[in-house]
Homo-oligomer: A and B are copies of this chain.
Amino acid sequence: MGFAEYFPVIRKLTPAQRKRIEESVTEKKVPKGMVIHDGTTGCTGLLVVRSGLLRAYMLSDEGREITLYRLFERDVCLFSASCMLRSIQFDINIQAEKDTELWVIPAHVWQQLTEESAVLSNYTSELMAGRFTDVMWLIEQIMWKSLDKRVADFLLEEMTVEDSEVLKLTHEAVAAHLGTAREVVTRMLRYFQSEGIVKLSRGTIEILDTAKLEAVLEEK
């Protein structure tokens, strides 16, 4: 399947605009673990995910992380082209969580086209609104959800992402996703283990009881 299948808004553009994007878009393969975009890399461009998984995260001055949202197949990453919008005054980091295939649309092409095309500009607004929704959800989680629920929620998401009950995940990785300390995650996972919900071994977390894990989310 080609680019237009993954980026259907292109069909609503004029032929000249469509050509402009198709001629400038490049393909890119990034291995699992690679950081594609950070505050120092400037304007990487708009990323369209063909396959794989990306994670957008924030980094503190002390090097602590928190995952803001994840981008799956067909998702479009706007903030890797944040130079386009002068009101964006923050840095986001993007890392491949799996081997990932991408299309990259250069930021200057996007910017030029949004200036002339209300369709593309409205599409940009919708993209941003989607990410805004993700981030508002995150604030709710941080502020008002206890950590047991956040860990349970993350493990359930990982099961879906990996399509497996056996997750290759260090406690450190879970902590970086949730923006907390490794020790705190370890304590929580050991509690889950004592409840028969997970089985821990070096570098893996096996989910033994999905129903119990889901029940954690429902507890008052």
> Which chain A residues have a beta carbon within 8 Å of chain B's beta carbons?
58, 60-62, 64, 66, 68, 85-90, 114-118, 121-122, 124-133, 135-140, 142-144, 179
Contact = CB atoms under 8 A, between A and B. Distances in A.
Nearest to A61: B144
A111 to B, nearest CB: 9
A64 B143 CA distance: 9
25 contacts: A58-B136, A58-B139, A62-B144, A64-B143, A66-B139, A87-B127, A87-B129, A87-B132, A88-B132, A90-B133, A90-B136, A90-B137, A114-B118, A114-B122, A114-B125, A115-B118, A116-B118, A121-B122, A124-B125, A125-B128, A131-B132, A138-B139, A142-B142, A142-B143, A143-B179
Contact of A132 (B128, B140, B142, B179): B128
B58 A126 contact: no
B143 A60 contact: yes
User: Copies per complex?
Assistant: 2
A88 to B, nearest CB: 5
Nearest to A60: B144
A121 B127 CA distance: 13
Given A64-B144, A115-B122, A135 B133 contact: no
A118 B116 CA distance: 6
Would you call the interface of chain A mostly helix, strand, loop, or mixed?
A: helix
A171 to B, nearest CB: 19
Contact of A117 (B60, B118, B137): B118
Nearest to A91: B136
Contacts of A89: 133
Which of A61, A85, A125, A144 has most chain B Cβ within 10 Å? A125
